[in-house]
Amino acid sequence: MNGFLRPNDDESVFGSVHLGYVVVESLRLTDWHRFGKDAIGLHVDELDRDTLRFRLDDRQCRFLIGRGPAEDLMALGWQIDDHETFDRIIRRVVDRGVPVREGSDDEAARRGVERLWRFPGPKGIVQEIFTAPLTTPEPLVMVNSGWVTGEKGMGHVAIMSREPESLRGYYNTVFDSRLTDYIDENVSGLMMKIRFLRVNERHHSIAIANLRGLKIDPIRTKCQHINIQAGTLEDMLDSFHRVKRLGFRMAWSVGQHTNDRELSYYCVTPSGFELEVGWNPIVIGPESEATWEPTTYRGISIWGHTPVGETVVGKLAQFKNAARSLAFREDTVPALSGG
């Protein structure tokens, strides 16, 4: 039992929720294999010609890459500590009239879990919850020495949204997320605001960004980036050099964030969203939790994180995506987001 699980009267599930895996759809499985195994340094398993899995630890699956045209993040898998908390979350979703479906045996097996249930999430990212992850005695075969998971989950996901308060409401309703802090960042004369939400001791498991005063989304993919945490500084830096040496696109150089103090870099996955590989962010344990107050930071980075390889073509693509986003409403699952 973790330090957050103590008797309470508010039926909070905070502290019992951990990001377990991510599901990606791509036609570029050969590139993903090379990217994950050779550049980032993950363990790779080929289930069949249409499916890759990456491991970070003894879990069977942390990344599931399935063949398909979306080139995007399709689902987030959340581990729930116990069946009572699992049932509490399901009741919250069902009681608000949102459909819930049990995953098939094949879906569960590919994700390395015994059973899972699925329900709609913001921006079309399906939310999946499970209680029993499957582990394997097979040793990890990877160039990195290890990754930080455990009670913190596997990392975090960052989402660009035109309806940031609805997304914040969604994760508050479903997982009792707590606001850790904000960052205000000037991007080419536009003010971007980022909200950082935690569901356990990791500084944030969800980051939600928007352009203040403009309901546009310049990001093609459903998520802006996924984060994983290297076990050592050497692991993080070595993977940075491998990514560059192997010709994969770098987005942001090594730098340190203002709020969680994580050292990291950002590279571009074969599907187009970014992967942040970080090291040593602060942890908000039970003692810090009792006195934590959200703060607003000016700027994303203390140092570093300079853009790499920005081109006119890339900027034009962002403008095109922003214009396209005006043509449709963003899916916020209103019944769960308070809207």
For the stretch 161-205, pLDDT in tens is 999 999 999 999 999 999 999 999 998 778 999 999 999 999 999
Q: Does the pLDDT value for residue 39 go beyond 70?
A: yes
In Å, how far are 57, 129, 329 from 136, measured between CA atoms? 9, 20, 42
Nearest Cα neighbor of 262 from 286, 236, 243 is 236
**What is the token pair recorded at 280?**
């040593």
Q: Does the pLDDT value for residue 5 go beyond 60?
A: no
Q: Does the pLDDT value for residue 9 go beyond 70?
A: no
State residue 7 phi and psi, 5-degree precision: -55, 135
For the stretch 49-100, pLDDT in tens is 999 999 999 999 999 999 999 999 999 999 999 999 999 999 999 999 999 9
Nearest Cα neighbor of 136 from 30, 250, 47, 265 is 47
Hey, what's the torsion of the CAs at 167, 272, 119, 53, to 10 degrees?
Answer: -140
Structural domains in the chain, CATH included, are: 17-130 (3.10.180.10), 150-325 (3.10.180.10)
C-beta neighbour count of 83 within 10 angstroms: 10
Higher pLDDT, 322 or 200: 200
Q: Does the pLDDT value for residue 145 go beyond 80?
A: yes
Query: What is the separation, in whole angstroms, between the first and last Cα of the chain?
Result: 34
